[in-house]
Amino acid sequence: MSPELLIDKYYPEPNELKHILLTHSHSVADKALQMAEKHPELKLDKEFIYEAAMLHDIGIFLTDADSIYCFGDKPYICHGYLGADLVRAEGFPQHALVCERHTGAGLSLDRIIADNLPVPHREMVPVSLEEQIICFADKFYSKTHLDKEKTVEKARKSLERYGEAGLQRFDRWCELFL
């Protein structure tokens, strides 16, 4: 099943939320693919990058984020693992890992426990280069300002609340992918 068909399954109506999801996901996919093209030495799977980038936020409709038309009952930080559950159930376990591991610059088990985050207690940090490049590309786009790409400085600033380890991952990704 293509990412578009999977999105249509969970977002069947053309509405503001679907527009936000598709616009944001296309921006993330395009940026990740541009970086992948720039680094052929990394031998990244571009088809997977496109598909997983399109699906990385599929779980947002299950969360409570009125400003982006999400009226679910879970905190927004849960959208990654909730989306992973959906995508995994559809038979795409590798794509599900991208959903689960893209929040912030990834959420370590230590951070999840220390901050008492309402997510499963497991490591949720991007592992493969494809997971990392999608997570990194995602940091440059907000769902509330769809038409603007953030600068490296603004993207980095948005990660400060996730702690020093996330900032270090982001800085490493700047060196690796830009």
* pLDDT tens readout for residues 130-148: 999 999 999 999 999 998 9
User: If you average pLDDT over residues 137-160, what whole number do you get?
Assistant: 95
Residue 1 pLDDT > 90, yes or no? Answer: no
DSSP 151: P
Question: Mind listing the pLDDT tens digit for each residue in 97-109?
Answer: 999 999 999 999 9
Cα angle 29, 32, 35 (rounded to 5 degrees) comes to 145
Neighbouring CB atoms inside 10 A of 142's CB total 18
Residue 163 pLDDT > 90, yes or no? Answer: no
Question: Mind listing the pLDDT tens digit for each residue in 55-82?
Answer: 999 999 999 999 999 999 999 999 999 9
Q: What are the φ and ψ backbone dihedral angles of 137, each rounded to 5 degrees?
A: -60, -35
Domains, the chain: 3-177 (1.10.3210)
Question: Mind listing the pLDDT tens digit for each residue in 35-56?
Answer: 999 999 999 999 999 999 999 9
Residue 113 pLDDT > 90, yes or no? Answer: yes
**Whole-model pTM above 0.75?**
yes
Q: How far is CA 151 from CA 22, 128, 158, 177, in A?
A: 21, 24, 11, 15
Report percent pLDDT > 70 for the chain.
100
Report percent pLDDT > 90 for the chain.
97
pLDDT at 162: 79
Q: How far is CA 57 from CA 25, 85, 166, in A?
A: 7, 12, 19
